[in-house]
Each structure stands twice: as C-alpha cells, then as structure tokens.
Amino acid sequence: MADYVLSIDAGTTGVTVLLVDARGAVARRAYGELPQHYPRPGWVEHDPEEIAQVAERGVREVVAGLPRGAVAVVGITNQRETTILWERRTGQPVAKAIVWQCRRTAAACDRLKEEGHEPEVRKRTGLVIDAYFSATKIDWLLDNVAGLRPRALVGDVVFGTVDTWLLWRLTGGRVHATDHTNASRTLLYNIHERSWDDKLCALFGVPRLMLPRVMGSSEVYGECSFEPLAGVPIAGVAGDQQAALFGQGCVGPGTLKNTYGTGCFLVQNTGTRAVRSERGLLTTLACDGAGAPCYALEGSVFVAGAAVQWLRDGLGLIASAAETEALARSVPGTAGVYLVPAFVGLGAPYWDPEARGALVGLTRGTGRAHVVRAALEAIAYQTRDVLDAMVADGATGGGELNVDGGATVNDFLMQFQADILDRPLVRPREVAVTGLGAAYLAGLAVRFWKDAAGLASLRSVERRFEPSMTRELREALYAGWRRAVERVGTRT
C-alpha cells in the first residue's frame, strides 16, 4: 500500500516538491531556486533544462530512503503561459523558455488589437490580447530562431507550457499533453468548445501539429520513466492558480482565493457560468470538486513577491524576505511613499505593458523601512484593484478571502491586506496550497482519496485576520495609491 502522493510545483522563481500523506499533511518537502535570465530590458527567460533538473533534484531529495512503491501517484502544477519549444525526436529545447512576465511581444499584441482582433479573441478564450499569454511567444520563437517555422509546420518541433515539458521529461518523451487549465492560458484554446481553435491558431501563426493533447486535470496521463519514480502514474495536472483554487477547497461558485507568489493572483470560482468581465479581468477554466472543468474569473498582478526579491537582489535593502515584517512595523506608515512595481508593465485591471515601476513621495526623511513597507503595501493595493473590479463585474460580494503562497507568512502584510480590503482573510495551516492542489487532483484520479468530501476534511485554518482600519484611513491610503499609479501608467 502506497503511503504518499508526490507533487511538483514548478514556479517562476523556484521548484517545490512535496510528499503528502493520506491525512493531507506534508511529510517532506524540497525547494530549489530557478535562475532567472534577463537578456534585455523587459525580457525574462528560463532555461528549460534547468527547470527539469531542479525538479528532478527535488524529487530525488524527498523520496530518498523511501521503499519502492511508497509513492502512489505524481501531480504537477506550474507557472502558466511560460512557453517552451523542443524537438520531438530528441527532446532538446530549441531556445530558452519565454517566461509569462516577458514583454518582448507587446508590440505584436498592439498590432493585433489595432487590427480589431481582440473582441473575437476574448469571446473565444476569455483572455485579452497581451504578451502575458503563450500564443505570441510561440510565434516570436518561430520567427526568430533560424529554420524553426518550417520544422514546426511538419511537427518536428513541439510546444508546451512547463507542465507539458515536465510530463515529457518524466515519461521519457512518451506523453505530450496538457490539461484544460493550462490550455486556457495560451490564447489558442476555445474555453467554450474545450478544444484548440483553428481560427486562433491561424491568427497567431501557430501550427496545430505543435500543440499537446488536452486532458483532464485529474486523470492518468502516463507513467514515470524517471528514477526513482519509474512506473508511478502521473495523474494530476493544473496551472498553479487553478491548483491553488482547488487546494483551498474553492470548488463551488462564489468561492475566492488569492495566491501571493512572484505575482499575485485573485481567482473566483464561477461554476458553470463564464463571467465576461468589463473591467479588465480574465475568464478562465478551473476545476470543480471532482477535478472536472468549470469557469473562474481571475485578476493577475504581475509583480508581488518579486518586488520583495527586488529589494533584496536589486537594491540590497534586505538580506532576506523574512526581514520585511519587522522593518515594516518599525515605522507607523510609509510617510507618503508608494512603490508601483510595474517592472514588466501593469496587469489586471490596467493591462498596460508600457507602464514602468516608480517610487513616488520620496523626501529627505525617507528611510529603508519606508521603502520596504511601501513594497509590502503595494501588494495589498494591487489586490484591492483586482477585487474592486471583480465586485463591480458582479462576480462576488462580501465574505472572506482565502489566502496562500509564501508571502502569507508575513503577518503585517496579511493584516494590512485585510484592512485595505475591509474583509477577513483566512490563512491555512499549510501555505503551500498550490502543491497540495496538484497532489489532491492526482490522488483523486487514483482513489488515494475517495472524493471531494474526503479532501475537505483535510484542510485546516491556521489564522483569521479581521479588518480593523477606519474607513477614512483606508480610503485615504488607497486614494494615494491610485494617484501613484496614474503617474506611471499610460492607460490608467
């Protein structure tokens, strides 16, 4: 009898591997940082080989010493939209992966919008035309890597998001597939017909032969050939935000979660209703209680935890993210300082690829603590931008917000978030919910857990954060944020 489910959470800045037991507890975990590559301003790349190698090292670490057969099944969750092309015959990548944050195709997106394509694209995909998504990244690679497009036309070169790449690697090239949640983030997938769309493929110049087979988020994809998991089925696949939504138990209409990672992603399950936003949010596919497709509304903030990383690596203001809470609490406020972390443009609800980051309100009295606090507050303000848009779209009312992700361990940020939203936040005991979601989807597929009701009993709350800020202060602070955004944005 197998004792564990293993999940691989391949994020933007690192890969986390979890070993989850039958009670839903994390028995072991491993983490490896993923190097970022910035060849030009606004460009972000990963090395596909590094993604696979970091994941494989993590797997070996968490299963070390376990008897063969201890792992029942593997689940995969991943940074979405990031685009990888590789040779079908050899499995060798043909270029660096273009990361979801990369803005190199912004001009191409602008041309498509100027030509009037966005309404039809949005109708079919639920997405806006933006460099964030995969389609224009694929087209760029086909045009800019010598000889690639003719090879893609005959199927010699294939495409995948990170889940597809890891499936290929773990199965020794036997499985070229993805799930509906990742497919729905490419600009090539019709979320209503649940299939690749020929008209979209033609519009974006992507040959159909490149695309992976689309499967369910909770079904058996194949077996690992990679030691030490040889013969273990891979049976759960979902994009990171949809995996977190499932991991939080947000499987019914109206349930809501926010994940604080490299970016910040607010997602609400809307059930069988595909809500079309009029305020810059995205309609996407998620998972219901059985792991089957349902709809969700999403607001994507490009830079959240990445702003803290910038404080550490770019400015040298902190040695680790753990320092930020004490520094933020060491001052009563930011003294009017706002950080707008539009390092790669602004995501929802602005969708402004030309915006660039700024620190505003600086005076001679501004110190390190003010800047650090402003970075944390910026995460909360951006979340309010998205939630206000969601409420205005009629998708959600009051109620609590489920939170997860690494930054949720920062109690200052969580309390400020509750205050600026004026709603309770619920933090689970295990904040690595993205990996848990992938584990749950995989476990359901092989009956490691019997059903959604059984999964619900595994979830536990660690803390609730209740709002305590006065309305006057809350609205004054938020008004200052809006003014700061107006100063850096081109479309606000």
Q: What pTM was computed for the model?
A: 0.86
Q: Map residue 412 onto helix, strand or coil.
A: helix
Distance CA 138, CA 136 (A): 5
CA-atom Rg of the chain in angstroms: 21
279 or 125, greater pLDDT: 125
Longest dimension (CA), the chain: 65
Those residues whose C-beta lies under 8 Å from the C-beta of residue 327, and which sit 6 or more positions away, are 318, 368, 369, 372, 373
What is the structure's pLDDT at 89?
A: 93
Q: Which whole-number Å values give the CA distances from 359 to 375, 376, 487, in the listed order?
A: 9, 13, 10
Q: Map residue 225 onto helix, strand or coil.
A: coil
289 pLDDT tier (thresholds 50, 70, 90) = confident
Those residues whose C-beta lies under 8 Å from the C-beta of residue 210, and which sit 6 or more positions away, are 85, 138, 152, 155, 157, 158, 159
What is the structure's pLDDT at 431?
A: 78
pLDDT in tens, 307-337: 999 999 999 999 999 999 999 999 999 999 9
Q: In the predicted model, what is the mean pLDDT of residues 148-160? A: 94
| 93 touches 66 (CB < 8 A) | no
Least confident of 160-164, 205-209, 429-433: 429-433
Q: In the predicted model, what is the mean pLDDT of residues 269-290? A: 89
What is the structure's pLDDT at 489?
A: 66
421 or 452, greater pLDDT: 421
Phi, psi of 473 (to 5 degrees): -70, -45
Domain positions in the chain: 4-241
Least confident of 195-204, 221-230, 449-458: 449-458
Residue 340 predicted with pLDDT over 90: yes
151 or 405, greater pLDDT: 151
Scored b (16 or more CB within 10 A) or e, 313-323 reads eeeebbeebee
Phi, psi of 111 (to 5 degrees): -65, -45
What is the structure's pLDDT at 491?
A: 62
Top CATH class, 4-241: alpha beta
Residue 360, Cβ density class (10 Å: 0-12 exposed, 13-18 middle, ≥19 buried): middle
What is the structure's pLDDT at 396?
A: 66
DSSP codes of every residue in 74-100: EEEEE-SS-BEEEETTT--BSSPEEPT
Residue 43 predicted with pLDDT over 70: yes
DSSP alpha helices (H): ranges in 268-410?
305-313, 324-329, 368-392
Total residues belonging to the chain:
492
Distance CA 309, CA 99 (A): 17
What is the structure's pLDDT at 81?
A: 93
Question: For a pLDDT cut of 90, what percent of the chain falls above it?
Answer: 73
Closest CA to 59 of 48, 80, 81, 75: 75
Q: In the predicted model, what is the mean pLDDT of residues 260-269? A: 88
Residue 490 predicted with pLDDT over 70: no
Rounded to 5°, angle at Cα 42 from 375 and 283: 75
Residue 492 predicted with pLDDT over 60: no
Q: In the predicted model, what is the mean pLDDT of residues 478-491? A: 86
Residue 394 predicted with pLDDT over 60: yes
Residue 372, Cβ density class (10 Å: 0-12 exposed, 13-18 middle, ≥19 buried): buried
Those residues whose C-beta lies under 8 Å from the C-beta of residue 450, and which sit 6 or more positions away, are none
| 160 touches 176 (CB < 8 A) | yes
**Token pair of 118 as six digits:** 């966005």
Closest CA to 339 of 318, 293, 370, 295: 370
Residue 252 predicted with pLDDT over 80: yes
Q: In the predicted model, what is the mean pLDDT of residues 266-291? A: 89
**Token pair of 442 as six digits:** 């995989």
pLDDT in tens, 61-73: 999 989 988 999 9
> At 22, which helix (H) or strand (E)?
none
Residue 170 predicted with pLDDT over 60: yes
Closest CA to 58 of 102, 113, 103, 18: 18
| 19 touches 26 (CB < 8 A) | yes
pLDDT in tens, 422-481: 999 999 988 788 999 999 999 999 989 887 777 777 788 889 999 999 999 999 999 999
DSSP codes of every residue in 143-200: HHSTTHHHHHHTTSEEEE-HHHHHHHHHTTT---EEEHHHHTTSS-EETTTTEE-HHH
Q: How many CB atoms within 10 Å of residue 132?
A: 30
487 or 112, greater pLDDT: 112
